[in-house]
Structure 1
Amino acid sequence: MRKPRNFDAELKALEDKAKELRSRKVQQLGELVIATGADALTAEELAGALLLLTETKDASRREVCARRGAMFFQGRARRSASANDRDTRGTSAQSDRTQPTSGGTGAA
């Protein structure tokens, strides 16, 4: 005979997992705000900027934001990788990071 399922225990485990995932999401969003420098904004400014983006129906504007976000994450990955390369490759890592001074100032 099969053991009966304990639905209450399964439901409690699922609720605990959902709570843990929500908590992790909130923590990661806070880390993202800090990493982007948006923690220097007031809560009202940050909320307003996020509301503007969520209310935007213009697909091209959203695409621009998505590309900037992707570049942000790629830049962080490269910085982490270059720090690791410095330990293993020595001086060749320095030449990889050299940037021309005649380039633009970057996105505003």
Structure 2
Amino acid sequence: MRKVRDFDAELKALGDRAKQLRVRKIQQFGELIEATGADALEPDLLAGALLAAVAEKEGTTTKAWTARGAQFFRETSRKSSRRARGISESGKAAAGGAEPA
């Protein structure tokens, strides 16, 4: 005998998942704006720059922006991994934290 599917529950679960993804995307955009220092810009300037980037059709310009963005993420990743290694090697995190149970 076949199991009866609850389509309403499945649709609700999919809707909830989509909402979570939208919230996470917005949060990540905010974190990106802070990480790049763009939070210091006026909102009108930031919006104008983003609109210009969306409207840009020249391939060489967008390729240069893409390369610069990729470099930013590589450097950021390298810095965060160095910080994590430095903390674990120096023992500061272990000494300052609570003892595991």
Q: Which amino acid in structure 2 is aligned with residue 49 of structure 1?
A: A
Identity of aligned residues (%): 50
Q: Deviation of residue 78 (structure 1)?
A: 1.2
- Consecutive unaligned residues of structure 2, counting only runs of 5 or more, are 91-101
Identify the structure with bigger relative contact order (alpha carbons < 8 Å, sequence gap 6+). 1
**1:37 corresponds to:** 37
Bigger share in helix: 2
> Matches of 1:15 and 1:87 in 2, distance apart?
41
**TM-score between the two structures when normalised by the length of structure 1:** 0.77
**1:67 corresponds to:** 67
Structure 1 moving runs of 4+ over 3 Å: 84-90
Q: Deviations over 1:9-43 (max 9, x none)?
A: 00000000000000000000000000000001111
**1:2 corresponds to:** 2
Q: Superposed, which structure 2 residues align to 1:19-58 within 5 Å?
A: 19-58=19-58
> Matches of 1:87 and 1:44 in 2, distance apart?
40
Paired residues, what number? 90
Aligned pair in 2 of structure 1 residues 88, 27: CA closer, same or farther (>3 Å)? closer
Q: Deviation of residue 88 (structure 1)?
A: 6.6
**TM-score between the two structures when normalised by the length of structure 2:** 0.82
Q: Secondary structure at the match of 1:44?
A: helix
Q: Is the counterpart of residue 14 in structure 1 residue 14 in structure 2?
A: yes
- Consecutive unaligned residues of structure 1, counting only runs of 5 or more, are 91-108
Q: Secondary structure at the match of 2:86?
A: helix
Q: Deviation of residue 80 (structure 1)?
A: 1.5
Q: Which amino acid in structure 2 is aligned with residue 45 of structure 1?
A: L
Q: Deviation of residue 4 (structure 1)?
A: 1.1
Q: Deviations over 1:49-107 (max 9, x none)?
A: 011011000000001110110111011111112223435778xxxxxxxxxxxxxxxxx
